[in-house]
């Protein structure tokens, strides 16, 4: 593993074992993330993005979630083999997570300052109390909140501010990797703009790597260096932002996603949605998982799952691009 690579995921398979059926959430995921890089993980509901993030944090639901196969290397540590005790040290310190809904991700009975310092209490045993108080003030300023408000409770803050607190908690120990699971989806668009602008600044300042999960391609264009598009538990296309937004070659699903977005700059009569729905994860189709909905489906697509077709930084998993 080169010194540039922070995270390496190899052939990850994650399932959810329910009473009746098995849900194949992630099916053979391969991904590398470099230090300081922001990777956008794009996909619709059920694509497996949150499951991937939870696997890296080993926060899959107890009896139900299972990493069946594969390896996740975080800074050369094999997460898949880590014990719960190891993971508790890693979480918050090396990796932290920002969840989607700021309304429910903060403990309503603890003050903001208590919640941020909790992270420090757990991981920074070397810090004295005064140092921790100073650090809390520092982080609050970093995320654009006034230190005067640190003894207030979550319900006294608006949605955007709560999300800033959540981000402050995630940054407290200056982790190497942040997993942001749709952090701005629940926010108003003007607040989203503020938060994204702040996150861009912090990203540069702290050189933290980030996996930014979203379904919004607009947000991806704003903040990400590389983009991976997920469908039915696999990454079907990955590349730099330039590859995804400017390159004419795309996986048909990606083209479909772009076609579904109402474009403000054009006047179109009807949108071009992708027909059908994402496949049932308990009953995935053979061959390419997108083939039942693909307008360019060929015979081989129904039987054989396509491999990666690599073109420099741009990889597409589609038979259309096989050499």
Contact residues: other proteins, CB under 8 A: 18, 44-45, 158-161, 188-194, 196-197, 215-222, 241-242, 245-246, 256-265, 267-268, 270-274, 277
Choice between 93 and 216, CB closer to other proteins: 216
**Cβ distance to other proteins smaller for residue 177 or 223:** 223
Distances (CA, A) of 208 to 32, 45, 202, 295: 15, 27, 8, 39
Write down the least CB distance from residue 160 to other proteins, Å: 6
Please state the closest distance from residue 121 (CB atom) to other proteins, in A: 30
> Residue 100 and residue 98: Cα distance in Å, rounded?
7
193 by Cβ neighbours in 10 Å (0-12 / 13-18 / 19+) ranks as middle
What does the angle CA 11 – CA 83 – CA 176 come to, to the nearest 5 degrees?
70
Burial of 58-68, coded b for 16+ CB within 10 Å and e otherwise, reads bebeeeebbbe
Q: Is the separation of the CB atoms in 38 and 213 below 8 Å?
A: no
Min dist. Cβ of residue 308 to other proteins (A): 24
Q: Min. distance of Cβ 240 from other proteins in angstroms?
A: 10
The Cα–Cα gap between 74 and 60 comes to 17
Paired with 229 in beta bridges are 42, 237
The minimum distance between CB 218 and other proteins, in angstroms, equals: 3
In angstroms, what is the minimal distance from the CB of 135 to other proteins? 25
Nearer to other proteins, 83 or 190 (CB): 190
Q: Which is nearer to other proteins, 256 or 306 (CB)?
A: 256
Give me 52's structure tokens: 């991937």
**Smaller CB separation from other proteins, 85 or 267:** 267
For the bound state, the minimum distance from the C-beta of residue 316 to other proteins, rounded and expressed in Å, comes to 18
Return the residue matching tokens 């070397």.
126
**C-alpha–C-alpha distance, residues 120 and 52, integer Å:** 26
70 or 159: CB nearest other proteins: 159
d(CA 137, CA 148): 9
- 97 versus 145: smaller Cβ distance to other proteins: 145
Q: In the bound complex, what is the minimum distance in angstroms from residue 315's beta carbon to other proteins?
A: 19
In the complex with other proteins, the residue whose CB is nearer, 78 or 201, is 201
Nearer to other proteins, 193 or 320 (CB): 193
Cβ 2 to other proteins, closest distance in Å? Answer: 27
């Amino acid at each position: 593993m080169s010194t540039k690579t922070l995270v390496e995921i190899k052939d990850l398979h994650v399932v959810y074992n329910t009473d009746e059926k098995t849900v194949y959430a992630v099916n053979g995921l391969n991904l590398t993330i470099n230090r300081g890089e922001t990777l956008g993980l794009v996909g619709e509901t059920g694509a497996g993005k949150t499951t991937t993030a939870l696997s890296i944090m080993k926060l899959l639901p107890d009896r139900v979630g299972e990493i069946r196969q594969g390896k996740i290397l975080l800074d050369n540590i094999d997460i898949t083999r880590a014990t719960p005790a190891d993971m508790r040290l890693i979480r918050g310190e090396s990796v932290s997570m920002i969840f989607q809904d700021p309304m429910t991700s903060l403990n309503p009975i603890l003050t903001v300052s208590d919640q941020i310092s909790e992270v420090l209490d757990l991981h920074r045993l070397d810090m004295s109390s005064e140092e921790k108080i100073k650090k809390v003030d520092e982080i609050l300023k970093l995320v654009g909140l006034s230190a005067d408000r640190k003894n207030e409770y979550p319900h006294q803050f608006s949605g955007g501010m709560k999300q800033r607190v959540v981000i402050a908690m995630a940054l407290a120990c200056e982790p190497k990797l942040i997993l942001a699971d749709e952090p701005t989806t629940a926010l108003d668009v003007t607040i989203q703009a503020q938060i994204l602008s702040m996150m861009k600044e912090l990203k540069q300042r702290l050189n933290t790597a980030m996996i930014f999960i979203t379904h919004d391609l607009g947000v991806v264009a704003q903040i990400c260096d590389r983009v991976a598009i997920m469908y039915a538990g696999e990454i079907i296309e990955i590349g730099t932002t330039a590859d995804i937004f400017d390159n004419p070659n795309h996986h048909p699903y990606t083209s479909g996603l772009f076609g579904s977005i109402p474009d403000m700059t054009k006047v179109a009569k009807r949108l071009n949605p992708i027909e059908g729905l994402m496949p049932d994860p308990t009953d995935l189709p053979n061959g390419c998982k997108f083939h039942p909905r693909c307008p360019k489906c060929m015979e081989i697509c129904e039987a054989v799952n396509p491999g990666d077709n690599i073109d420099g930084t741009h990889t597409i998993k589609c038979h259309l691009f096989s050499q």
